[in-house]
Amino acid sequence: MSTCGGKNLLILLMTALLSFGFASGATHVVAKSETFYSISRKYGVPVSNLMAYNKVSDPRTLKLGQKIKIPSKSSAVKVTPLRARKVTPKAMRIIIDPGHGGKDRGALWGGVAEADLNLRVARKVEAILKARGYGVTMTRRSDVFLSLSKRAEIANRYRNVVFVSIHFNAAKYTSVRGAETFYTGEKGRYLASAIQRELIRKLKVKNRGVRFSRFAVLRQTVCPAVLVECGFISNSYERARCKTPGYQDLTAKAIVSGIERYDRAF
């Protein structure tokens, strides 16, 4: 669904490949009436490249007898369009809620604070969602404390939203592991199932299933709301995985895939 269906946003990702310094170029001594332009033509090197290579900003400063370094052609500046991707703005907004923060560190195991992990994964989720055209509201974007009712209140400011709270788990028995997702409401159950399925598929972790919950942050939220427990940091194996950026990326991708699956269904 989209409020402005045909109005596509064209994002051109351009990259400038600068490879100065690798060339074993020659030296040219400036003769009478020569300019940067004539020298660049003589050696078949773009004038901008020639100037940059010699750290010259004004081509008129060239003097008779001046030594000019000539870059090899391989060091030419290339501006390559990497990809042109169409992104359709989505109608649904996603409230991303990194659990805990500030004085509330969440679970603490083996030097890992849940609050930090939650924020890292949440920021990755935010970036991917925005790239896919979703509006995203973060309940927190830094290490600050927020009450549960404040988080719900932020979500309740919007229409056509879903609320996704991101957490990592801990248990007294350190052998306990796996991912689980909590929900309230029928739509919340669908969203939780979609996210849970993607987590299991992408992370290959133990499936602890989806569960109905009366967690305050879910109960006080009007929109479909879920709370994702991405893994147990009380389990040494999962803690080691959860700490790596690669695993955090994969977790974020799984959460986004689940949200997209939900969005397509409603």
Interface residues toward Zn ion, by CB under 5 A: 99, 106, 167
Structure tokens at 84: 């042109």
First to last CA, the chain: 9
CB under 8 Å to 186, separation ≥6 — which residues? Answer: none
CB of 183 to Zn ion, least distance (A): 16
CA distances from 39 to 55, 76, 96, 164 (A): 15, 15, 57, 60
Which one, 103 or 159, has the nearer CB to Zn ion? 103
CB of 196 to Zn ion, least distance (A): 17
Residue at shortest CB range from Zn ion: 167
Which one, 167 or 177, has the nearer CB to Zn ion? 167
- 216 three-class SS: helix
CB of 262 to Zn ion, least distance (A): 22
CB of 45 to Zn ion, least distance (A): 58
Which one, 169 or 193, has the nearer CB to Zn ion? 169
Which one, 151 or 167, has the nearer CB to Zn ion? 167
Region of 232 please: left (phi>0), alpha (psi -120 to 50) or beta.
beta
CB 25 within 8 A of CB 69: yes
